[in-house]
Amino acid sequence: MSVVTIMSGSFCGAEEVAQDVASRLNVELMRDEDLIGMVDRNGGPAAGIVRRAIYGRTSIFNQFSHEKERAVAALKLATAKLLVEKEGLVLLGHVSLLVPRSITHVLEACLIAETKWRAARAARELGLSEKESLARVHRDDESTIRWAEYLLESDPWDAKLYDILLPMEKSGPAEAAKFIAGQAQGGPLQVNDASRRAAQDFLLAAQVEQALTAQGHSNKDIQVSAVGGKIDIQVNKKVLRLNKLSAELEEQARKVAGVGEVSVEAGPGFYHADVYRQADFHLPSKVLLVDDEREFAQTLSERLLLREIGSAVAYDGEQALKMVAEDEPEVLVLDLKMPGIDGIEVLKRIKHDYPKVEVIILTGHGSARDMEQCMGLGAFAYLEKPVDIDKLSETMQAAYEKVRSQGD
């Protein structure tokens, strides 16, 4: 029995191939959505957050929230648990790139075809024009490339990542499935003690990574590996007190059951200019400031950053609505008087479409009537300029606590 992972370009018939392989091997088929559901049900990041981590662009707030890192850590842990629990399995989709090559009973396959061939298939399946189908394939490829670069700093179609790379314009789904299943049944891919230990090591490393990301450490800044219960942690960003950080990482890693020896050392990225930053999840990390006074908005953002509050800036209502649609913040600080779509209209749309976003009105041109209207529309607070930064920070914190309590 062996595990088969199948990575694929879009419109390569991956679902049909994966179902056929699972049937031939008489094993369960698990897709990206199945793993996303497991993470969600087990108390990890919500399904939407995990989907964005896999397929979307990295959030503008991510350097503060570490949302993507936490989602990837949870997804990796779910994948590792599956590999330990099920020695026969087909994994289809982007999650396949999470599986390390060190687990020797895993056969890693990739299905790919030329862009024009896939676009023609997209046109047939979805009824798209030639231009639309090409755009769809390019959009899918961009998403896949971002994911592979994030995880592996590699092209997703690099043959070195796989045991089998099948050009689907040259072989049909049935032929591809037959070939993959035949290779999976070969002697070298059978489960043995060494491959089981490698799967257990993957699980242990994933558990430690999950524990560290939960404490605000980024798995892009630290890389965790395990061999025989020994945990190795590499720090890949500059930190002034490496000894202090090492002691903290070691202490947190030792709390994970099954961890033996722990070593922490500077990794290859440690000597770059980037500075290590541990997130504080008790502080707001996704604040959008909306104000047409550019200097004020930028200065406020910088002052909040000094207080470890992560923020981004929009300079008009239209830009703010677009940013919220692409990357929903936790707290929005909104001016009322802006050209184009004014603050009242932005507040109405936000509370209608994104009711969990807490909106703080911050204006220098308001009135008692404006205040009454804003609070009636669901604003969390109404503040006037000039505002004391401590007062604003406290209000943001209170709004953030309300967001967190709603998510529990």
Rg over alpha carbons for the chain, rounded to the nearest Å, is 24
pLDDT reported for residue 272: 56
With cut-offs at 50, 70 and 90, classify the pLDDT of residue 253: very high
pLDDT above 90 covers what percent of the chain?
Answer: 79
Please give the Cα distance from 105 to 214 (Å, whole number). Answer: 31
Confidence check: pLDDT of 407 > 80: no
CB of 120 closer than 8 Å to CB of 20 = no
pLDDT band at 350 (very low <50, low <70, confident <90, very high): very high
Whether 378 and 334 have beta carbons less than 8 Å apart is answered as no
C-beta separation of 20 from 80 below 8 A: no
Extract the runs of DSSP E, i.e. beta strands, from 44-192: 89-92, 106-112, 164-167
Amino acid identity, residue 376? G
Domains of the chain: 3-190 (3.40.50.300), 194-266 (3.30.70), 287-407 (3.40.50.2300)
Q: What is the pLDDT of residue 282?
A: 82
Percent of residues, the chain, with pLDDT higher than 70: 97
229-254 average pLDDT score: 90
- What is the CA 87 to chain-centroid distance, rounded? 27
pLDDT at residue 273 in the model: 47
Give the model's confidence band at 276: pLDDT under 50 very low, under 70 low, under 90 confident, else very high: low
Q: How far is CA 99 from CA 107, 140, 278, 304, in A?
A: 10, 21, 26, 39
236 or 118, which is more confident: 118
Read off the pLDDT band of 342 (50, 70, 90). very high
Beta strands in 300-404 (DSSP E): 311-314, 331-334, 358-363, 381-384
pLDDT tens, position by position, 135-144: 999 999 999 9
Confidence class for position 198, pLDDT limits 50, 70, 90:
very high
pLDDT at 240 over 80: no
Q: How far apart (Å, rounded) are the C-alpha atoms in residues 33 and 30? A: 8
pLDDT surpassing 80 at residue 274: no
| Tens digit of each residue's pLDDT (9 = 90 or more) over 79-119 | 999 999 998 999 999 999 999 999 999 999 999 999 999 99
**Taking the chain, what is the end-to-end CA distance rounded to the nearest angstrom?**
41
**What pLDDT score was predicted for residue 41?**
94
